[in-house]
Amino acid sequence: DVKVTQSSRYLVKRTGEKVFLECVQDMDHENMFWYRQDPGLGLRLIYFSYDVKMKEKGDIPEGYSVSREKKERFSLILESASTNQTSMYLCASMASGRAADTQYFGPGTRLTVL
């Protein structure tokens, strides 16, 4: 079974702090994704990566950056957290090529910015 883990289930930070959210997958997947989930809006894609050191902006990248130094790890960075970044953050991974169809999700990190 695919396993995607996220470093924290719950996180509370203050406005202006730098925040790191970590995601690790154990299936050697090439593709990894960061979403945020807000009530009534579903999941919105922040960034994704299709290979080590590669990244692409999603639909709402403003205020976020990412890092992928190793294949199994994809980090989401909030350079200066703001209250409107309070949300549930979900990481996902997916294979490439002919096996590329299903994204597998981690348990999520509920971030509160005070």
Partner 1 sequence: AQSVAQPEDQVNVAEGNPLTVKCTYSVSGNPYLFWYVQYPNRGLQFLLKYITGDNLVKGSYGFEAEFNKSQTSFHLKKPSALVSDSALYFCAVRDIRSNDYKLSFGAGTTVTVRA
Interface residue list for partner 1 (CB under 8 A) = 4, 6, 9, 31, 40-45, 48, 50, 56, 58, 90, 92, 94, 96, 100-108, 110
Task: Choose between 58 and 63: whose C-beta lies nearer to partner 1.
Answer: 58
Buried b vs exposed e over 52-91: b needs ≥16 C-beta within 10 Å? eeebeebeeeeebebbbeeebebbbebeebeeebbbebbb
Instruction: Work out how close the CB of 39 gets to partner 1 at its nearest, in angstroms, rounded to a whole number.
Output: 8
Instruction: Work out how close the CB of 10 gets to partner 1 at its nearest, in angstroms, rounded to a whole number.
Output: 9
SS3 40: coil
